[in-house]
Amino acid sequence: MVFIRLLRLICGCVGFYAEGGFPERFINLCSLREIPLWGLNTRNGRLFAYTTLNGYMRIRECAVKSGMRLKHTKTVGMPFFASKYRRRAGVLCGLGIFFAVIGMLSSMVWTIDITSNSKVTDEEILTVLAQAGLKPGVFKDSINAPEIRFFALSRLPDVTYLTVNLIGSSVQVDVTERIDRPEIPTDETPCDVISAVDGQLAVLELYSGTKLHSVGEAVSKGEVLVGGFAELADGSVRFQHAAAYAVINTQISITSDTAYPNTTLYREAEEKHTTLHFFGLDIPLFVSSKAKPDCVRSSYLTANDVRLPIGYTQKIYTSFHEKKLVYKKEYHALSTAEDYFIQKINTLGGAKIISETVSADTCISGEFTAAVSAGKAQQMLIE
């Protein structure tokens, strides 16, 4: 039904009414001469109907033979529109340019969608594709997918495979990234277990190696707790990878004394440089600048969640000036307390606190006795 309406709109149709004479004979004659009629109805003794432009030009003979008088009431379609504006060359030129632009835009790439990438960013891939000749605004006939794929793979070491699929005016790039081989730890390298802090050994669970200290002994930082060797029955020594779990009671000090800056920067002026993007064409609206922008933001038109190649990019340059600051005493106390608790969490997050002594004056100081896991593997140097 929609196709029939579109066909009638392109070919043109005429609405008319006929009065007097014999309507039945008129309809039969139109059917005999294959003149299409639709929308037939009668009102006030008149027969109303529609026919094609060609049919209306041949319908007069049927009306004369049936004794009816015809009068058209409505004309619809492209032939009548063109006839009405046939002397207005600007309208015809505008229509020609419009269809030419639509045809040109339909033969160009509008958007490039990249999928399945996590390590390599979209910007990196789009930059390489642009160097290969694939970017919004290029003609679809100029796209050589195998050449683009080989060029991109030679420039992107973290990508193992890449496909370029053309779907309408959009290009979909599917990326397969390189999977790094996981590092598998081995226990073949001879090493000792040493102490990472100074203190008193509280727990020492031996898994492999030779124990050199007992629980309750004092140890210093870097001292070997478990040796990476074993004495055999024949008196020889075999080197191995030592493993053990060690907990050491140690003393930890934390001091916090924050200082505020005397000056700060306030924004004085802001300058925006805008570049328009239209199907791969960049149109700068500013004089070029070598300075590094403080912020860059982009915006593009979208249709049904699809980004169109029409938008702009703004580079923002901001100038600042220094201003002297004056702080209250309460601000310093709050800042010092906040810094102290942050240091405590970062330093003692995984330790068991045995005792704690805190003093506060112009600064906050804390002395802790804590049990920490302090056994660390260190490779042995064998000559």
Q: Is 90 exceeded by the pLDDT of residue 147? A: yes
pLDDT at 51: 92
**Measured over all CA atoms, what is the biggest interatomic distance in the chain, rounded to whole angstroms?**
135
In tens, the pLDDT along 237-294 reads: 888 888 889 999 999 898 887 766 667 777 778 888 999 988 778 888 887 777 788 8
Domains of the chain as residue ranges with CATH: 2-82 (3.30.70), 111-177 (3.10.20.310), 189-260+327-383 (no CATH), 263-324 (no CATH)
pLDDT at 383: 58
d(CA 156, CA 123): 12
Q: Are residues 266 and 323 in contact, defined by beta-carbon separation less than 8 angstroms?
A: yes
Q: Are residues 219 and 213 in contact, defined by beta-carbon separation less than 8 angstroms?
A: yes
pLDDT at 326: 66
In tens, the pLDDT along 85-123 reads: 767 777 778 878 888 888 888 888 888 889 988 889 988
Cα-Cα-Cα-Cα dihedral of 157, 159, 164, 170, to 10°? -100
Q: What percent of the chain is modeled with pLDDT above 90? A: 17
Q: Which of 9-13, 77-81, 187-191 has the lowest mean pLDDT?
A: 187-191
Q: Are residues 14 and 75 in contact, defined by beta-carbon separation less than 8 angstroms?
A: yes
Strands (E), 77-222: 111-115, 159-167, 170-177, 191-195, 199-208, 210-211, 218-219
Please state, rounded to an integer, the average pLDDT across all residues of the chain. 85
Q: Is 60 exceeded by the pLDDT of residue 184? A: no
Q: Is 70 exceeded by the pLDDT of residue 21? A: yes
pLDDT at 150: 92
In tens, the pLDDT along 332-381 reads: 778 888 888 888 888 887 788 888 898 887 788 889 988 888 888 888 76
In tens, the pLDDT along 186-213 reads: 566 788 889 989 999 999 998 888 888 8
Q: What percent of the chain is modeled with pLDDT above 70? A: 94
pLDDT at 173: 93
Q: Is 90 exceeded by the pLDDT of residue 79? A: no
d(CA 351, CA 373): 7
pLDDT at 98: 86
Scan for tokens 């969608």, then name that residue. 113
pLDDT bucket at 327, cuts 50 / 70 / 90? low
Q: Are residues 89 and 65 in contact, defined by beta-carbon separation less than 8 angstroms?
A: no
Q: Is 249 exposed, middle or buried (0-12, 13-18, 19+ CB in 10 A)?
A: buried
CB atoms closer than 10 angstroms to residue 368: 19
Q: Is 90 exceeded by the pLDDT of residue 128? A: yes
pLDDT bucket at 236, cuts 50 / 70 / 90? confident
pLDDT at 48: 92
